[in-house]
Chains A and B, each alone.
Chain A
């Protein structure tokens, strides 16, 4: 009975014996006529616990900083009151950044869940198989050539991500796609693209290179409402599409033959969710640069907490939001007043996990 980090007291409930059996874990629910869903109690509890933790970190992130604003004043400000000073610090400076942390974390968590499900492998997340690096390359090209704003950079990132995916797919294709080969090829392509990115930066003039370097380390520093609204808007468009794909993606985890025999249009579902997963990565990358390992780690954490063996988008989204928000808070405060880019933080934490995963997968092969 080890308590799980992040879930606090809820871990006691989660581990109690009545949640061992799926019959007991899941209940039949008919909320509306014609609408029914099998609800996994533990999954709901995990989502709730992670959401509560996210809200707590969110409030702390709004409260602490160079100017400490007491929690009571933070809540007053959020509900429309507060002093002019707290409205500036909380409302204008910290709120958009914290919300972006949540949105970007959720986007990365969901995309990681989708790719790990598609490749049937925990290593198959976009930051490992080069899609994030490719999205960064695309964004970089746009910034250096056109000096674009968020939407242009996002478009470049989507283009770069899709082109990378096409390349990785083409190189890994041999009578169908096999997860582990895709990952190996992806790691290779990712490494190549990383050097392309470095080369691009060295070719740029000093101002552009500075901007690219800051963006390239993956950071929420200096982000505001200008980035928040497009990120939120795109997230609200893309998430429902992926949620609609989720049942078919879960079927695909059984293998193509079984999935197709059960009525899944395998290639269509795979291509579509691949594309929308890349769009999620691109949305995040265009705003904050390539933030590594959130997409890798968040679905794994949610998976361990919920005990579900399969694609679960919502818990992965909430876990991603919590992870990024908390990492950003630590990155801001650990060496204050110096602010680290959150990407540095996630590399340190996620990197250790990545190495452990690599060793485990290597043994399995």
Chain B
């Protein structure tokens, strides 16, 4: 029985010795993670290392077969459906926009956990949606059908929906996948802005350099285990990148942001 690490004093959301996977095939066993409050935590690691699985566990989309995920010291399985959705939001990897739905109507769907059968639309809902549209610069798109938008615009609209949910903690499952580099940076800047406003963000990202640049806290995973945790400065080293990703690289200081920058060696460095 592994020893449970002491609870992080400032960590509302944590996974406590969880075993989690699909169809009873565990991807992670005895995994313990704490999400520091107010952090922009990014989970990195090679494909199939269990990053998204962990995130889905934190969002209660997957039920651990052992251990538990705790919010404020209480197992998230004891929360009501809407109750948890008012605390923890998730931008899933895949979502479907109903045919012809407008941006405003889609973002308004984010208000569901705040609504009741007899109180379906309040001024607070209206304000949250308007605010989410403004925060993601999608106000001008609000009357457009979602399926007419470009990939970058569409992703911003989904972020707006998650924002309209107004949760203190927001989980983002590979939010930049399928976007070109300009739209990736645009979205990451938006996340940084949201984080600066006091939200706790947890993202799964593929690009290590993006993670190093935008995260305040990194969690590196490999084969379903947490290999290392800490600030990008502590974590992004040539040794760790080789250990986690099996990639030989140089790490230099990013000339623009000052954070670590990973330069893969590839075959160019071979003698």
Contact = CB atoms under 8 A, between A and B. Distances in A.
A264 B92 CA distance: 14
B47 interface: no
A263 B82 contact: yes
Contacts of A21: 142-143
B126 A28 contact: yes
A211 interface: no
B84 A263 contact: yes
Contacts of B82: 263
A170 interface: no
Given A22-B102, A247-B115, A250-B109, A28 B89 contact: no
A327 B179 CA distance: 50
A1 interface: no
Contacts of B115: 247
A355 interface: no
B241 interface: no
Contact of A264 (B112, B123, B125): B112
A34 B138 CA distance: 30
A307 B105 CA distance: 12
B95 interface: yes
B182 interface: no
Contacts of B97: 254
Given A120-B98, A263-B81, 10 more contacts: A21-B142, A22-B105, A22-B142, A22-B143, A258-B92, A260-B61, A261-B61, A307-B100, A309-B99, A309-B101
Contacts of B118: 34-35
Interface string A237-272: 000000010010011011101101111110000000
B245 interface: no
A36 B125 CA distance: 11
B117 interface: yes
A352 interface: no
Contacts of A258: 90, 92, 95-96, 161
A257 B57 CA distance: 12
B34 interface: no
B94 to A, nearest CB: 6
A209 to B, nearest CB: 44
A260 B126 CA distance: 22
A321 B126 CA distance: 34
The 8 A-B residue pairs whose C-beta atoms are closest, nearest first, are A263-B85, A257-B92, A38-B121, A261-B90, A263-B82, A309-B100, A309-B101, A263-B81
B175 to A, nearest CB: 13
B148 to A, nearest CB: 12
A36 B122 CA distance: 6
Contact of A262 (B99, B104, B110): B110
B59 interface: yes
Interface of B: 23, 59-61, 80-86, 89-90, 92-102, 104-106, 108-110, 112-113, 115, 117-123, 125-126, 142-143, 145, 161, 165
Contact of A261 (B80, B85, B120, B142): B85
A203 interface: no
A304 to B, nearest CB: 10
B109 A120 contact: no
Nearest to A250: B109
A310 interface: yes
Interface in A116-139: 120
A255 B95 contact: yes
Nearest to B126: A28
Q: Which of A21, A258, A265 has the most CB of B within 10 A?
A: A258
B151 to A, nearest CB: 17
22 contacts: A20-B143, A21-B143, A22-B105, A23-B143, A34-B119, A35-B118, A36-B119, A37-B121, A120-B96, A120-B98, A175-B23, A250-B109, A254-B95, A254-B109, A257-B90, A258-B90, A258-B96, A262-B109, A263-B84, A263-B86, A264-B81, A265-B81
B121 A261 contact: no
Contacts of B105: 22, 309-310
A22 B133 CA distance: 14
Contacts of A23: 104, 142-143
A310 B101 CA distance: 7
Contacts of A251: 109, 112
Given A261-B59, A263-B82, A263-B85, A28 B90 contact: no
A35 B119 contact: yes
A36 B96 contact: no
Contacts of B145: 309
A220 to B, nearest CB: 33
B117 A28 contact: no
B57 to A, nearest CB: 13
A86 to B, nearest CB: 44
A22 B123 CA distance: 16
A37 B142 CA distance: 20
Interface in A36-87: 36-38
A299 to B, nearest CB: 13
A120 B119 CA distance: 26
Contacts of A28: 121, 123, 126
A247 B117 contact: yes
Given A23-B143, A257-B92, A36 B121 contact: yes
Nearest to B112: A262
Contacts of A262: 85, 109-110, 112-113, 165
A265 to B, nearest CB: 5
A313 to B, nearest CB: 14
A255 B109 CA distance: 12
A35 B94 CA distance: 34
Given A28-B123, A36-B122, A261-B90, A254 B98 contact: yes
